Structure 1
Amino acid sequence: MPHTTASIINQCRESGLRRTKALELLIDTLLSSPRPMTLAELSEHKNLNTQCDRATVFRLLQRLTDKAVVRRLGLHERAAYFTLLLEGRHQDFLICSECGKIEPIKAPCPVHALEREIASSTGFTELYHELEFFGICPACSK
């Protein structure tokens, strides 16, 4: 099933979140973004900057993170990045510890087999993981 703004809004409503124009615009912006985005990028985005302020975007991101609709990425001392958690789509990331650049890893995830083994041996259900590798990007290495 393809992920749409409407399907993600339904997931939000099932989690107890109220449907608002700001929520719809935020979901639409994250869904259409090819990469994770910072709070600043989201609140300044053309879809959101005239509809809601930075504090509203922040509160929505917090609620969406709490409800496991959004994943928060990044270094603690740098700006956090946010991306949608979409069923059936798993993404791991490389994060530069110098400039904070984040990019998706374009390789199969090596942890899925381990995840299945752990679930089988422990009885845990709905097991998932989030994998982030930290290092120095080529531009910062120069």
Structure 2
Amino acid sequence: MSKHHHHHHDGCHRPEPEKLLEDSLARARGKGLRRTKALSDVLSILIQACQPLTLADISESEALVSEADRATVYRLLVKLEQHGLIRRLGLHDRAAYYIINLPGEHHDYLICNDCGRIERLDIACPVQTLEETIAKSSGFKGIYHELAFYGQCPDCSKT
């Protein structure tokens, strides 16, 4: 799966990536993850990316200064996902994509079952009002949801 599918997500306007990285590292530390150079690199790459990345995208990134190997990167991703610091998207482990989970930032995605292409859903999320209703009625705090829609992208549905 090539990079050209992501062209319309370029240009990421996250304010203060350094601060986001510090916050994310602090959250990781709070979950008992050792603060290693590799961890810092992986979080940094995901924060800068603004779009879902594959294991290969991350482990082959020039920003992986620590030169952690693929297995190390994968173990970190698994831990980060378990602790809710990142989100895994996509179909099973085949072509899984990872995206940073930042407090207050939320996106839903469209995923093609055939080529694995992932697009951010650019409509206002109808579920957010539902979350407020659920929070009121259940007393749950910090409710969030993870939504992914699956289908066939225009390219795959032509054939």
Fold match, TM over 0.5?
yes
Asked whether 1:116 is paired with 2:150, we answer: no
Count of paired positions: 142
Note the 1:16-35 alignment, pairs <5 A: 16-35=32-51
Q: For structure 1, which runs of at least 5 residues remain unmatched after alignment?
A: none
User: Percent of aligned pairs with the same residue?
Assistant: 48
Counterpart of 1:95 in structure 2 is 111
Q: 1:77 Cα shift?
A: 6.1
Asked whether 1:78 is paired with 2:113, we answer: no
Q: CA RMSD in A?
A: 1.7
Q: 1:119 Cα shift?
A: 1.8
- Which one of 7, 24, 41 corresponds to residue 23 of structure 2? 7
Secondary structure in structure 2 of the residue aligned to 1:6: helix
Change (3 A) 1:10 1:24: same
- Per-residue deviation, residues 69-121 of structure 1 (Å, max 9, x unmatched): 00011112631100000011111000001100011111110001111112222
What's the TM-score, normalizing by structure 2?
Answer: 0.83
Conserved in 1, the CA contact under 8 Å of 2:51 and 2:99? yes
Q: For structure 2, which runs of at least 5 residues remain unmatched after alignment?
A: 1-14
What's the TM-score, normalizing by structure 1?
Answer: 0.92
- Mean alpha-carbon deviation: is it higher for 31-40 or for 72-81? 72-81
Conserved in 1, the CA contact under 8 Å of 2:41 and 2:65? no
Q: 1:53 Cα shift?
A: 0.5
